[in-house]
Amino acid sequence: MTASVAMQGMPMAERAAAATSSGGAAVHCDGITMRFTTERGTVTALDGISLSIPQGSFLTLLGPSGCGKSTLLRVIADLAAPTAGSIQVLGDRPEVARRNRDIGFVFQDAALLPWRTAIQNVSLPLEVGGTIAHAGKRSPAELLKLVGLAGWENAFPHELSGGMRQRVAIARALVSGPKLLLMDEPFGALDEITRDRLNEELLQVWQSTGTTIVFVTHSIYEAVFLSQQVLVLAARPGRVRELVPIHLPLPRHLDMRETPEFVRLAGHLRRVLETC
Amino acid sequence: MSASTDTASIGGFVVDQAELARFEATKRRLLWRKRLLPLAAIIGLLVAWWGAVVLFEIKPFIAPSPVAVVKVLIARFDILFANLVPTAIEAFLGFLLGNFAAIALATVFVHKRTAEEAFFPIAVMINTVPVVAKAPILVLLLGNGMEPKIAIAALICFFPTLVNMVRGLQDVNPQALELMRVLSASPREVFFKLRVQNSLPYLFSALKIAASTSVIGAIVGEWIGSTKGIGALIIQATYAFDTPLLYATIIVGSTFSACFFGLIGLVERRVVKWKAPRA
């Protein structure tokens, strides 16, 4: 099953042009298969996933639990090795991209180090893993400001709310200036109001940094609101169901969710998900 | 309420000076309450003890009155202090030795899984042998000097610290470990930036236990064979029916133990400034 992303269909022509000139896809998967063996037998988490994610784009992996969307993200991040198939991240093996510090990862729970203040957490990527060849343009303090946490630099994680912790995690993922930002249900544990606000802010961050984002969610509305493309995965075994392009204009605002086009896309995704 | 002009906004908090002062006053009052209530209880118990001794005409060698104990504390302070010094040295050296060995072994265990699987059960087994049983063996092995007492104090500190330190180094948030992998952190960086930091609250709760148990270890060691030290003085006072001296000795020993515990607590507050997530 192949879901090839057509460049000409992208709403932002200049992004597509930039992607072509710098070597095309940020992520290219070909027949990724992932099996786990447990006491209860072998589980096929991913079954022959092929996809191509253009540089600078925002792609969401959407699917029911057990469709392997998080597993796919972990394969891209070199946190897991596929059983079969090939994968290229920024034109090389995932390990090379990881060692080059080109990947930023935001976890479901913010995974902040509780003994470090907000700014110390954001600085962590600069302290480990050797020097970064092309460190991000923004300092930890600037990034905290970018995610709306100016004035909270010296707060410890336990002093921050869930939404604020996740903002710190996003700033931390951006500090090494990654070309690829992977987000594994980052707002899944947040209340709806916080989640909406962070969705809007994430789009602003994406537009101002120009990084490629791969976002995992099981919320249809989040997927439509954020993405340029939504890749719907079916469960057991995890496989590509459909690639849905989202032609909503940028910048996006929350009230856009009431437009006929948004409602139509959400409805379409819901019907696709029902067959997964 | 009239609006205060001394308001400022820091990071989403509105700072109202009058409100802040009231908050601080309440906090101070609660703190004093926490300090004064136990003090009042102690004084009450002492008075009850003294009253009982006087009222029931209890003989001093069975149970002395608090007044008699205080008199001995003052009059024989030179003897008490002279006997505290060796016990304190034994406890402190044992504390250092036992905890150092435990931390070193925990570090080895975390790096070499095989070592942990082979030796951890043995460590647990040795720990089940009571101190009073281990003490004579160590006296036979190490002689009558300070060495066996230091060894007993070290042994008694060793196990809680080993168990806690292994847990602290291993109980790391799995997502934090994955984060370190995404960041291509070296094993050394993972150890120092993640595992060691994570273990500190566990370590300090073990060290606080060790602070008081190391004193117990030293005293038990002195019971087996010694002519000086708090343990020796306890034995001598008991056999001489010098009960006021016995009580005074116990008070000196416990005070030292409490101070040692408090010192570790003070260091903990300096080192672990963040709130432990699972504490």
DSSP code at position B192: I
Separation between Cα atoms, residue B175 and residue B172, nearest integer Å: 9
SS3 A245: strand
- Best of B179, B186, B188, B204 to disrupt the A interface by mutation (most A CBs within 10 Å)? B179
- Distance of residue A130 Cα from the nearest chain B Cα, in angstroms: 8
- The confidence score (pLDDT) of residue B122 equals 87
Separation between Cα atoms, residue B279 and residue B269, nearest integer Å: 14
pLDDT at A12 over 50: no
What would the two tokens of residue B50 be? Answer: 């003294």
| pLDDT tens sequence across A130-144 | 776 556 678 899 989
pLDDT in tens, chain B (279 residues): 444 444 555 555 676 788 888 889 999 999 999 889 999 999 999 999 999 999 998 888 888 988 999 999 999 999 999 999 999 999 999 999 999 999 999 999 999 989 888 988 888 888 888 888 888 888 888 888 889 999 999 999 999 999 999 999 999 999 999 999 999 999 999 999 999 999 999 999 999 999 999 999 999 989 887 889 999 999 999 999 999 999 999 999 999 999 999 999 999 998 888 865 544
Which residues of B fall within a CB distance of 8 Å from A150? Answer: 11
Q: What fold is seen in the domain A2-102+216-274? A: Rossmann fold (3.40.50)
Separation between Cα atoms, residue B263 and residue B269, nearest integer Å: 10
- Residues B156, B261, B146: CA angle, nearest 5 degrees: 45
- Residues A118, A122, A128: CA angle, nearest 5 degrees: 130
What would the two tokens of residue B94 be? Answer: 């044992």
- The confidence score (pLDDT) of residue B140 equals 85
Which residues of A fall within a CB distance of 8 Å from B184? Answer: 98-99, 101, 128-130
Separation between Cα atoms, residue B199 and residue B166, nearest integer Å: 8
Which residues of B fall within a CB distance of 8 Å from A158? Answer: 274-275, 277
pLDDT at A26 over 80: yes
| Helices within B113-146 (DSSP H only) | 113-128, 131-142
- The confidence score (pLDDT) of residue B126 equals 82
SS3 B147: helix
Which residues of B fall within a CB distance of 8 Å from A174? Answer: none
pLDDT averaged over every residue in chain A: 86
Most confident of A118-122, A255-259, B132-136: A118-122
| pLDDT tens sequence across B59-110 | 888 889 889 999 999 999 999 999 999 999 999 999 999 999 999 999 999 9
Q: What are phi and psi of A2, to 5 degrees?
A: -120, 140
What would the two tokens of residue A80 be? Answer: 């897991």
Separation between Cα atoms, residue A274 and residue B242, nearest integer Å: 87
Which residues of A fall within a CB distance of 8 Å from B13? Answer: none
**Mean pLDDT for the stretch of residues A178-190:** 91
Contact A215, A195 (CB under 8 A): no
Q: A103 and B179: CB-CB below 8 Å?
A: no
Q: What confidence category does residue A7 fall into, taking pLDDT thresholds of 50, 70 and 90?
A: very low
Torsion region of A140: left, alpha or beta (phi above 0 gives left; psi -120 to 50 gives alpha): alpha
Tokens 């991040």 sit at which residue?
A77
The residue of chain A with its CA nearest to that of B271 is A115
The residue of chain B with its CA nearest to that of A100 is B184
Measuring CA to CA, how many Å separate B147 from each of A55, B92, B225? 69, 12, 12
Any A CB within 8 A of B269 CB: no
Q: What confidence category does residue A21 fall into, taking pLDDT thresholds of 50, 70 and 90?
A: very low
- Of B121, B129, B120, B117, which is closest to residue B155 (Cα–Cα)? B129
Q: A125 and B176: CB-CB below 8 Å?
A: no
- Of B236, B106, B235, which is closest to residue B164 (Cα–Cα)? B106
